[in-house]
């Protein structure tokens, strides 16, 4: 079996013309051959020997005699055995034409060698529906095109998919999640004619629809949460992602969706949301590498925008014309830089080019506030029951830990006292230190001491009142106040002062605007901690926790800076230390005091909460962590809106030149260009401005031949696994010819005529009979339509990475379906970020979390680091997002098996799924197993499957009864608590059954 | 399993399931068909079917078939990230003794752009090497005392002193070296090798990446794109073998399930999947069953791979005490040898920390010591096992360093990035041993006769592919309508460094 022979057979399958079914057509049959083998040297860019084959007039001169294949030079050359004459020549490294390909050229020349303009560069026109001889199969226009093609090829349609398969398919396709058993049963039970349409309408109205569509767009838009390049530090661009979700959910017309992302900032009524949309054009990587040349990278960003915009909306490989005229398509280098000129006017830099950016609230903010508050209330309820529901002895054990940790403060006896200006410091018998003498405007105190026989981890500063101070208060300022600007701790080692890092600071009282944390913010000139000493003559306490302990018997210097001015220095204070444990939070201690008053019920509750938050079990700690997250997210919706990278236009545009070989430093000064679009793609709209807005108007103009086709093709591919054009990134001459050109045109025209209604388009496609076919594959189909190019059956392909994880979360009941917001940090193997980059200040440890709200949200919200793609997603072919990607690989590998088998997320999902099977799945083992199947793959197992699963359960059950340690281990994977009311061996055995189900090929496949 | 057997196996499987009625027409089914199409250069489809993606790499695919008889069956690439100074390692320049302290003349600099880090510097005083050089081995190759263990492999390696590149900063330069392009988006060298050659091992990936633990606090990071698959099917990307945690991500079952139970589990799973395949007829399900089987084999083989207890004391004598410390260069070099023995096609090791813009004379020796013994032991070890013959070893950074000082004084200076000349070495796999190639000028700033004797990054990559049996112009993959290759439209095989030359 030789590859060449197989290759021929393969071509034979692909090209119906060879089978003699249809006459040869230039665009479908001839252009691919000429483009691939001839245009490189006889095309747009180069015309060797003066021969140009991409235009009929010039080709006819030297290439062929229309109607006379045998007499044509073209045929002679491609069939010649003489190495000097043979085309393509050996030096081109292009394969010779196959006999079939030669045959196509012969037939074409004999038929008159008619050229057609490249199909994709002609505006789509709606063709009349092809006749289907009154077939009853067709349910929509789409089906007419598909059926006609099948009949032409001597093929037939498949049966309809059964209802369970269909609802799973359409639910996964429209929302990225599987249907629930009740949704399935309701659909099965609904015998009405519009049962399916009701399902489709429900799914289109679901907020999950917009999330799922946005998820695809994130690849196209190379959205990520880091900057790419070198250290790959973080950015906050998620508000833009919220915008995309909102746009799809509100069914924004696609022309507006397009315009806003290309030029929202240039609209006459550029609202904040319109400006936010332009984040699309700034999602590209941005470098911070110190040595780079600014203009080089600024140029790359503009290049990226041209490539991304061309790929996303035009399906053009425009970037091929960066260095020279396009080899295959009628796009010149000048065309490229004319397009470049649209994007070259951003007031941005190449190095650290993070401006322009703008703080704009998420369009999902209101929705999120509601959801966050709801979640917060739930967490508080859960906490309430966990904290107050525990047996008293457990609470006492927490208190015991508190007592053990508390230790006692040791007052510091200084070894030396000094000041920078002229204040005098004295230590009194009670170890307090008193300031006297000159009272300078600003002052710095230095107190040296030596640690005792234990390491220290905390420092306490008690600020004391003194009758000698103004108002008997605490400070030396004329009004009795002080401001402690900064506290600096150093350790004396080898005669050098080594700074000691402070982890936190808190105080029992702080003046508004002068918080405790200000004493270690690195800002020494302004700010600081104060206690309203001018009106409140009371002692106060500041407690500082160190990042790491200071060893015993070590010399330490405490430096206290008072830089506020007007003598705002402390008057009398005492230092104490504690260790080796961290000091206890003041709050807990205060609450304990208060709670000892038997009547103060509120304080007792608060005290119990405070103790639980620090010493409670893992579940309680997880809930508290979740509470903190929710509060900080609420804060970010309300106040701390991140600044999103957006587009702006320079008042005076940059002059763009053609760049020699595409190099940033080689502008060809006598080739200035102005913003323009390639003439081959149609004319510039008369009244459009010559800027990005004009470009958007041109792209969304219904005369644009590419935009609607490219878009519907990508949507089609999301549903069918491959586009009607199988090269979604290339609609040019080298791209694939559409399997159904008239259908593609019809869909494009419909889409435009509908007012670019995305939901309507999806509805049209999923309502078709074509989409609803069964995807069962028969040997005949494999032989006649191996890739389902002709749509002999329904779609069947492996789900994308995100849908696989989301399906597991959904089936197990773990899914937290709140919408939008900042990116999240679900389970992640330890050490991945640090192993590629551990430079201090330029790297970070992955922030592992035990809080549920970080762990179980949809995968589209997973924090996307370009240089370390979330590994379980990457294993299922998720891209880096360093550049625009319109179709992912779809592989099937052993590493994927590892993820489904061993990723804690999937193990945890299995044990939660098992719990649902046991609790919700009825009383018998069979019904429980069936329920697990229904939750996961929307059907019940057949006899063979049920037998296997039952056997698996029984075997595991026996094993786990004898080995509860293993059962415990299995049931403790993941952060969610185990339901302790379930028998442990049963739960573990059922978890193994659930693991089998989540590892089924069917589970990761849409069929 | 050889090609004929694999095809036979596939045919049998297909026939058993009655997938193909007319075997003479389509032969062995689309999966294997697409595989074979991939192996002939220009036929790759831009969106291969699911099955086609598996035709290569470590999936249940086929060993690849090069264009001509290769001299190297595998590659071990020791990437020295951050860029070692050629002046202080392999490029002996006695001429610098008399040029010490002299400002580099513009006539030598020839308009070379400099990085943002020295563009503000007023003068560019030459700093000769702080290291001592001597002639080593019978071949008398000049190697500095910074790499004393390398003296032992002088007769095995070919030092190329006329490397040059276009990039002057780390990210674009290392991306250029590893993918043939300065900007992200192209497949890595190892991915091309995996794509071209497929996998020899049945229980390990074709392309494995090892990261040495970094000790330098200013080191440059690495990025997954350096071992990424770009537009190639993503199963060609490098698989990291990690020194801590799971050696391969998600390899270990977090529940500690033993292999016996795992076997039972997988048998049940295979039965369930087969039951489904019988109903829906999807050949992809059979591919997935095979993938789980291979995962099972990997789970057994990886612990065996990383367990060094079967190594004799002589191994540790050779690699040094570091070889027992996971994540060191020596340990990773030893692992690389074990991977090579087990049929892995491409092993990429990254060592970071060479980027010394200040205090280079103090800092370079430390990094050199970290890699010296491991790198040289690898060559000696491969040689004594007869593996060096068909294993290519490559050692080098992403560019060189400047002959002139960056900042500091005569002892605290650093060296900035230098793209116009630097040194790397290659060994084994058809490379001429004990040989030096290329020459730099007296200033160690420019290559002498660059047009004829310079080795551009694309030339190096073309040569590596050549040694693996590929015409670099013909190992292509169609994407965006274009037949992409590692060397873009450039590159020429450096024939004088081949053993056959």
User: Which band of pLDDT confidence, cut at 50, 70 and 90, is reported for residue A465?
Assistant: very high
B388 vs A586: which has the higher pLDDT: B388
Give B364-371's long-range contacts (Cβ < 8 A, gap of 24+): B364/B84, B364/B85, B364/B88, B364/B130, B364/B146, B365/B146, B366/B215, B366/B216, B367/B82, B367/B84, B367/B216, B368/B84, B368/B89, B368/B146, B368/B147, B370/B212, B370/B215, B370/B322, B370/B328, B370/B329, B371/B78, B371/B80, B371/B212, B371/B329
CB contact under 8 A, A228 and B184: yes
- Token code pair at residue B249: 């991500």
Distance from the Cα of A790 to chain B's closest Cα (Å) equals: 15
Beta-bridge mates of residue A488: A559
Distance from the Cα of A495 to chain B's closest Cα (Å) equals: 23
Q: Tell me how many helices (H) and strands (E) chain A has.
A: 36, 18
Distance from the Cα of A898 to chain B's closest Cα (Å) equals: 5
CB contact under 8 A, B20 and A838: no
CB contact under 8 A, A892 and B54: yes
Using CA atoms, how far apart are residues A157 and A648, in angstroms rounded to an integer? 52
Distance from the Cα of B433 to chain A's closest Cα (Å) equals: 32
Contacts of A775 in chain B (CB under 8 A): 280
Predicted confidence (pLDDT) per residue in A65-121, tens digit? 778 888 888 888 888 888 888 888 888 878 888 888 888 888 888 888 888 889 999
Residues in contact with A631: Cβ distance below 8 Å, sequence separation at least 6, in sequence order? A376
Residue whose token pair is 């503009």? A302
pTM > 0.95: yes or no: no
Query: By CB neighbour count within 10 A (0-12 exposed, 13-18 middle, 19+ buried), where does A101 fall?
Result: buried
Please choose, from the candidates A430, A540, A535, the residue with its C-alpha nearest in 3D space to the C-alpha of residue A484. A540
The DSSP element (H or E) to which A371 belongs, if any, is helix A365-389
- CA distance between the termini of chain A: 33
Q: Are A147 and A136 in contact (CB under 8 A)?
A: no
Nearest by CB: B239 against A895, A897, A951: A895
Beta-bridge mates of residue A445: A419, A560
CB contact under 8 A, B21 and A783: yes
CB contact under 8 A, B115 and A942: no
CB contact under 8 A, A951 and B40: no
Nearest by CB: A93 against B222, B257, B474: B474
- Token code pair at residue A648: 């702006």
B157-164 and B435-437 beta bridge pairing: parallel
Look at residue A6 in the predicted model and tell me its pLDDT: 37
Decide: helix, strand or coil at residue B46: coil
Phi and psi angles of residue A460, each rounded to the nearest 5 degrees, phi first: -115, 135
Using CA atoms, how far apart are residues A638 and A641, in angstroms rounded to an integer? 7
CB contact under 8 A, A892 and B280: no
Nearest by CB: B269 against A285, A890, A999: A999
Using CA atoms, how far apart are residues B184 and B164, in angstroms rounded to an integer? 20
CB contact under 8 A, B268 and A951: yes
Q: Number of A to B CB contacts under 8 A, please give it.
A: 311
Distances (CA, A) of B88 to A73, A464, B128, B143, B365: 62, 63, 8, 9, 10
Chain B residue nearest residue A729, CA to CA = B480
- Token code pair at residue A651: 């008042």
Chain B residue nearest residue A911, CA to CA = B255
Q: Are A347 and A645 in contact (CB under 8 A)?
A: no
CB contact under 8 A, A889 and B234: yes
User: Which band of pLDDT confidence, cut at 50, 70 and 90, is reported for residue A212?
Assistant: very high
Beta-bridge mates of residue A447: A417, A558
Phi and psi angles of residue A825, each rounded to the nearest 5 degrees, phi first: -120, 80
Contacts of B252 in chain A (CB under 8 A): 902
CB contact under 8 A, B275 and A7: no
Tell me the pLDDT of chain A averaged across its residues. 91
Tell whether the model's pLDDT for residue B16 goes beyond 80: no
User: Which band of pLDDT confidence, cut at 50, 70 and 90, is reported for residue A402?
Assistant: confident
CB contact under 8 A, B265 and A327: no
Look at residue A2 in the predicted model and tell me its pLDDT: 37
Distances (CA, A) of A916 to A811, A920, A993, B273: 9, 5, 12, 23
Look at residue A412 in the predicted model and tell me its pLDDT: 93
Count of Cβ atoms closer than 10 Å to residue A811 Cβ: 29
Task: Compute the average pLDDT of residues B484-488.
Answer: 92
Tell me the pLDDT of chain B averaged across its residues. 86
Q: What is the dihedral sign for C-alpha A110, A111, A112, A117?
A: negative
- What is the predicted ipTM? 0.84
User: Which band of pLDDT confidence, cut at 50, 70 and 90, is reported for residue A21?
Assistant: low
Please state, for a pLDDT cut of 90, what percent of chain B lies above it. Answer: 68
Chain B residue nearest residue A798, CA to CA = B50
Task: Compute the average pLDDT of residues B387-403.
Answer: 97
Look at residue A406 in the predicted model and tell me its pLDDT: 62
CB contact under 8 A, A948 and B268: yes
Predicted confidence (pLDDT) per residue in A662-719, tens digit? 999 999 999 999 999 998 888 899 899 999 999 999 999 989 999 999 999 999 999 9
Query: By CB neighbour count within 10 A (0-12 exposed, 13-18 middle, 19+ buried), where does A84 fall?
Result: exposed
User: Which band of pLDDT confidence, cut at 50, 70 and 90, is reported for residue A405?
Assistant: low
Predicted confidence (pLDDT) per residue in B251-297, tens digit? 999 988 887 788 999 999 999 999 999 999 998 899 899 889 989 99
Chain A residue nearest residue B52, CA to CA = A891
Distance from the Cα of A556 to chain B's closest Cα (Å) equals: 27
């Amino acid at each position: 079996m030789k590859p060449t022979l197989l290759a021929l057979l393969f071509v034979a399958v692909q090209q119906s013309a060879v089978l003699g079914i249809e006459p040869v057509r230039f665009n479908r049959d001839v252009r691919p051959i000429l483009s691939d083998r001839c245009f490189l040297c006889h095309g747009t860019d180069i015309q060797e020997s003066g021969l140009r084959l991409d235009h009929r007039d010039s080709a006819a001169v030297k290439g062929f005699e229309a109607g006379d294949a045998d007499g044509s030079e073209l045929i002679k050359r491609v069939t010649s055995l003489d190495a000097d004459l043979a085309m393509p020549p050996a030096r081109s490294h292009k394969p010779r034409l196959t006999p079939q390909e030669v045959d196509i050229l012969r037939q074409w020349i004999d038929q008159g060698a008619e050229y057609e303009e490249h199909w994709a560069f002609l505006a789509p026109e709606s063709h009349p529906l092809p006749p289907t001889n009154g077939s009853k199969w067709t349910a929509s226009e789409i089906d007419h095109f598909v059926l006609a093609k099948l009949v032409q090829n001597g093929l037939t349609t498949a049966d309809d998919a059964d209802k369970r398969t269909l609802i799973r398919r359409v639910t996964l396709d429209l929302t990225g999640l599987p249907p629930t058993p009740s949704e399935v049963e309701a659909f099965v039970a609904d015998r009405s004619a519009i049962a399916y349409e009701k399902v489709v309408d429900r799914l289109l109205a679901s907020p999950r629809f917009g999330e799922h569509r946005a998820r695809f767009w994130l690849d196209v838009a190379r959205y990520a949460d880091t900057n790419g390049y070198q250290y790959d530090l973080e950015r906050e661009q998620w508000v833009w992602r919220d915008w995309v979700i909102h746009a799809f959910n509100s069914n924004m017309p696609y022309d507006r969706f397009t315009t806003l992302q290309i030029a929202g900032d240039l609209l006459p009524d550029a609202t904040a949301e319109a400006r936010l949309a332009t984040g699309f054009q700034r999602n590209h990587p941005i470098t911070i590498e110190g040595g780079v040349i600014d203009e080089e990278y600024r140029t790359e960003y503009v290049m990226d925008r041209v490539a991304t915009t061309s790929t996303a909306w035009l399906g053009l490989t425009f970037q091929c014309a960066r260095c020279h005229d396009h080899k295959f398509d009628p796009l010149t280098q000048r065309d490229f830089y004319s397009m470049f000129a649209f994007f070259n006017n951003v007031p941005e830099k190449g190095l650290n080019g993070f401006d322009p950016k703008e703080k704009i609230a998420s369009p999902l903010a209101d929705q999120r506030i509601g959801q966050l508050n709801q979640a917060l209330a739930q967490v508080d309820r859960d906490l309430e029951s966990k904290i107050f529901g525990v047996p008293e002895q457990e609470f006492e054990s927490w208190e015991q830990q508190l007592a053990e940790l508390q230790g006692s403060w040791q007052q510091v006896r200084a070894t030396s006292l000094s000041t920078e200006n002229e204040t005098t410091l004295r230590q009194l018998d009670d170890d307090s230190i008193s300031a006297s003498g000159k009272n300078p405007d600003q002052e710095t105190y230095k107190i040296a001491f030596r640690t005792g026989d234990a390491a220290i981890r905390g420092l306490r500063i008690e600020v004391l009142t003194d009758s000698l101070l103004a108002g008997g208060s605490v400070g030396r300022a004329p009004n009795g106040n002080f401001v402690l600007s900064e506290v600096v701790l150093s350790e004396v080692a080898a005669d050098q002062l080594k700074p000691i890092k402070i982890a936190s600071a808190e105080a029992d009282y702080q003046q508004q605007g002068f918080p405790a944390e200000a004493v270690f913010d690195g800002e020494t000139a302004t700010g600081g901690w104060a206690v309203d000493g001018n009106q409140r003559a009371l002692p106060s306490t500041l407690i500082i926790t160190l990042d790491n302990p200071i060893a015993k018997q070590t010399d330490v210097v405490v430096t206290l800076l008072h830089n506020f001015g007007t003598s705002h220095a402390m008057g009398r204070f005492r230092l104490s230390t504690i260790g080796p444990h961290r000091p206890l939070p003041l709050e807990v201690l205060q609450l304990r005091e208060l709670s000892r008053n038997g009547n103060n019920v509120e304080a007792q509750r608060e005290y119990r909460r405070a103790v639980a938050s620090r010493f409670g079990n893992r579940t309680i700690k997880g809930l508290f962590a979740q509470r903190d997250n929710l509060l900080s997210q609420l804060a970010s919706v309300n106040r701390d809106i991140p600044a999103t990278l957006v587009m702006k236009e320079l008042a005076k545009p940059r002059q763009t030149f053609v760049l020699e070989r595409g190099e940033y430093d080689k502008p060809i000064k006598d080739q200035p260009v102005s913003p323009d679009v390639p003439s081959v793609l149609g004319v510039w709209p008369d009244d459009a401005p010559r800027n990005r807005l004009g470009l958007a108007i041109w792209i969304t103009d219904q005369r644009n031949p590419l935009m609607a086709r490219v878009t519907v093709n990508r949507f089609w591919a999301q549903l069918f696994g491959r586009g009607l054009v199988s090269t979604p990134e290339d609609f040019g001459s080298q791209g694939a010819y559409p399997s159904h050109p008239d259908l593609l045109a019809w869909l494009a025209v419909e889409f435009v005529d509908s007012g670019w209604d995305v939901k309507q388009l999806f509805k049209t496609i999923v309502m078709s009979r074509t989409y609803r076919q069964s995807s069962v594959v028969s040997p005949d189909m494999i032989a006649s339509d191996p890739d389902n190019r002709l749509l002999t059956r329904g779609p069947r392909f492996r789900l994308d990475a995100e849908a696989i994880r989301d399906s597991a979360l959904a089936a197990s009941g773990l899914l937290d379906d709140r919408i939008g917001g900042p990116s999240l940090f679900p389970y992640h193997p330890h050490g991945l970020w640090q192993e590629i980059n551990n430079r201090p200040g330029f790297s970070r440890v992955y922030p592992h979390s035990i809080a549920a709200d970080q762990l179980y949200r949809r995968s589209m919200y997973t924090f996307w680091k370009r240089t370390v793609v979330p590994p379980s997603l990457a294993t299922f072919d998720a891209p880096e997002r360093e550049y625009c990607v319109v179709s992912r690989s779809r592989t099937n590998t052993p590493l994927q098996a590892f993820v489904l088998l061993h990723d804690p997320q999937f193990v945890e999902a299995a044990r939660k799924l098992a719990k649902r099977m046991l609790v919700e799945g009825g009383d018998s083992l069979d019904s429980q197993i069936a329920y697990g199947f229904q939750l996961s793959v929307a059907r019940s197992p057949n006899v063979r499957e049920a037998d296997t699963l039952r056997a698996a359960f029984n075997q595991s059950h026996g094993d786990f009864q004898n080995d509860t340690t293993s059962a415990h281990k299995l049931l403790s994977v993941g952060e969610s608590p185990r339901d302790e009311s379930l028998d442990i061996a049963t739960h573990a055995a059922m978890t193994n059954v659930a693991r089998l189900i989540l590892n089924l090929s069917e589970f990761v496949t849409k069929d | 399993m050889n090609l004929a057997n694999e095809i036979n196996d596939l045919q049998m499987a297909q026939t058993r399931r009655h997938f193909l009625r007319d075997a003479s027409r389509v032969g062995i089914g689309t999966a294997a068909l697409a595989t074979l199409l991939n192996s002939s250069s220009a036929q790759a489809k831009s969106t291969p079917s699911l099955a086609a993606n598996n035709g290569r790499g470590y999936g249940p695919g086929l060993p690849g078939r090069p264009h001509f008889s290769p001299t190297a069956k595998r590659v071990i690439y020791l990437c020295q990230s951050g860029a070692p100074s050629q002046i202080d390692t392999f490029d002996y320049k006695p001429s610098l003794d008399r040029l010490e302290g002299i400002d580099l003349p513009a006539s030598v600099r020839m308009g070379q752009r400099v990085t943002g880090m020295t563009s503000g510097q007023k003068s560019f005083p030459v700093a000769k090497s702080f290291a001592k050089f001597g002639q080593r081995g019978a071949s008398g190759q000049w190697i500095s005392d910074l790499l004393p263990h390398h003296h032992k492999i002088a007769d095995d390696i070919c030092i190329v002193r006329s490397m040059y590149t276009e990039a002057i900063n780390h990210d674009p330069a290392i991306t250029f070296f590893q993918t043939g392009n300065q900007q992200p988006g192209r497949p890595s060298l190892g991915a091309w090798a995996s794509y071209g050659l497929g996998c020899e091992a049945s229980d390990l990936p074709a392309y494995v990446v090892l990261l040495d633990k970094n000790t330098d606090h200013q080191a440059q990071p690495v990025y997954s794109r350096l071992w990424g698959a770009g537009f190639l099917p993503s199963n060609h990307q490098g698989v990291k073998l990690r020194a801590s945690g799971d050696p391969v991500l998600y390899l270990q079952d977090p529940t500690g399930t033993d292999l016996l139970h795992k076997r039972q589990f997988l048998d049940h799973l295979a039965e369930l999947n087969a039951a489904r395949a019988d109903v829906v007829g999807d050949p992809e399900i059979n591919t997935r069953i095979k993938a789980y089987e291979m995962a099972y084999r990997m789970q057994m083989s990886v612990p065996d791979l990383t367990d060094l207890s079967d190594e004799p004391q002589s191994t540790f004598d050779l690699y040094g005490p570091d070889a027992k410390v996971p994540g060191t260069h020596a340990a990773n070099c030893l692992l690389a040898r074990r991977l090579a023995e087990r049929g892995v096609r491409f092993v990429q090791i990254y060592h970071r920390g060479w980027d010394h813009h200040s205090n280079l004379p103090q800092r370079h020796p430390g990094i050199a010591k970290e890699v010296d013994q491991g790198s040289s032991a690898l060559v000696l070890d491969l040689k004594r096992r007869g593996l060096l013959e068909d294993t290519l070893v490559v050692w080098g950074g992403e560019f060189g360093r400047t002959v002139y000082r960056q900042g500091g004084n005569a002892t605290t200076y650093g060296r900035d990035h230098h793209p116009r000349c630097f040194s790397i070495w290659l060994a084994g796999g058809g490379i001429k041993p004990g040989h030096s190639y290329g020459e730099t000028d007296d200033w160690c700033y420019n290559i002498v006769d660059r047009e004829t004797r310079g080795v551009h990054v694309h030339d190096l990559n073309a040569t590596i592919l050549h040694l693996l049996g590929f015409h670099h112009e013909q190992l292509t993959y169609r994407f965006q309508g274009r037949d992409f290759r590692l060397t873009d439209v450039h590159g020429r095989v450096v024939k004088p460094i081949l053993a056959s030359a």
